[in-house]
Amino acid sequence: MAFEQKAGEQRPAGILPDRAQPHDPEVEKAVLAAMLREPESCVDTVIMFLHDADVFYSHIHREIYQVIRELHDDNAKAVDLVTISHELQAKGKLDAVGGNAYLAELYNAISTTVNIEAWCNILKKYAILRRMIDVCSGALGKCYDSGADAASLVEEIENDIYKVRGEEAANNIVELKDIIKDEFQSLMSLLEDNVEAGISTGYAAIDKMTGGLKPGEMFVLAARPSIGKTSLALNVIANVALKKYTPRPRKVAFFSLEMTSSQITRRLLCSEAGIPESVFWNKTFNHADLTKFTSAAAEFYNASIFIDETAGLSIAELRAKARRLKMKENIELIVIDYLQLMHADGRVDSRQQEVAEISGGIKALAKDLKIPVLVLAQLNREVDKTAGAGAKPKLANLRESGSIEQDADVVTFLHRNREDAKTVAQDGSVEALWIVEKNRNGQIGEVRMNFFPSRTRFEVASPRSEEDCPN
């Protein structure tokens, strides 16, 4: 986009067309020289570190690097001064890069290739800085478009910046011996209870099977409507975020596509206080309730729980908001209620394809941010149709897509007889099962729970026998 600069008007900061972008021509020469001197070892190293020719600032060096890559990819051709010169000549670019004289100059630019990896890292750093300049300059240009949608533009710019961060943080291939010591120590620390495998859900029986909510993992909690999956998710959030339940309170982001922030807050307060929300509507609230309610409010006042109540959240919006919260607040857990209420970013051919895109996006988000994502999901009606209300759900009952099963590291089901809650006494409980049906890194099984509908609270039931205890 071109800008007309009027008299007395300052050019937007960051748009500096006359200033060279960050680069180092001597380092670029050194990298190419290493490829020319020792192609057997250095060409693969450079390709692994730098990938594309755009990492080079000089168009001359980009042309030479591209030819070296093409020769290297063609196993029938050697990589040396003669073949490189021949290929450049065939492309009509030999004179444009300085001819054979410049190729000879490159060859003699270094005396050793021992620092090839360090040189590659320098070029990579400058390339990332140039990418950031391009992104920021492009963002300024887009901001001057008066017809642009501000919210969409902010999201687009955030995604562009995050892509640059991803390029900077991208890991190369590592050798096992370089990380085995650290991983050995990590496993020993787990054995000695010095660190947690994951964030505790607050339900020890579930944690024993799953290891808790582990970084980078997608943990699915699925159920039919009105079974209590949101209540259980809020119980987990309280267990994770309140100091009384954990040695170190965690920061949690809750994306609620179904309930408002006010509804969620009331649910959390009443559940923690152990009083039904109905006591406020029917005026049976008493002094004892006030003490418990005040204590619960004080607990949550000091907790770090961030609620987003955006309905119809897209995977791109989720990604942008979660990244912002991770950078700004260093959140340690994301909870989404629930997956099927989200929508994909672009047009898709079917609902199954859309859910697959959403599921894959959530898993990628967990890996990118290196934190666990607890995502709630709906089950289809087949579980009721085939065997009635008492039928236990299976993986095939996940609604609208098998991709959820494939992407998730842990898939759990909450199961109970919905009719039981209709006849339960005040502050009474009904039996429920928390079923671990898929566990990529652990065991599967069932945990018996008691659900207290009046205060939306789940508690692990007392074991009836050794069979009820997870191994």
Retrieve residue 268's tokens. 């959390």
Q: Are 266 and 276 in contact (CB under 8 A)?
A: no
Q: How many residues does the chain have?
A: 471
Residues contacting 464, CB < 8 A, separation 6+: 448
Phi-psi region of 226 (alpha: psi -120 to 50; beta: other; left: phi over 0): left
Retrieve residue 245's tokens. 């339940």
- Look at residues 113, 95, 111, 114 and name the one whose alpha carbon lies nearest to residue 103: 95
Catalytic residues: 258
Give strand pairing partners of 373.
218, 334
Distance, C-alpha 409 to centroid of its chain: 13
DSSP state of 356: H
The reply to whether omega before 338 is within 30° of 0 (cis) is yes
**DSSP symbols for 299-342:** HHHTS-EEEE--TT-BHHHHHHHHHHHHHHH---EEEEE-GGG-
310: how many CB neighbours lie within 10 A of its CB?
13
Residues contacting 90, CB < 8 A, separation 6+: none
Spatial distance between the Cα atoms of 193 and 160, rounded to a whole number of angstroms: 41
Spatial distance between the Cα atoms of 458 and 254, rounded to a whole number of angstroms: 19
Spatial distance between the Cα atoms of 167 and 238, rounded to a whole number of angstroms: 36
396: how many CB neighbours lie within 10 A of its CB?
11
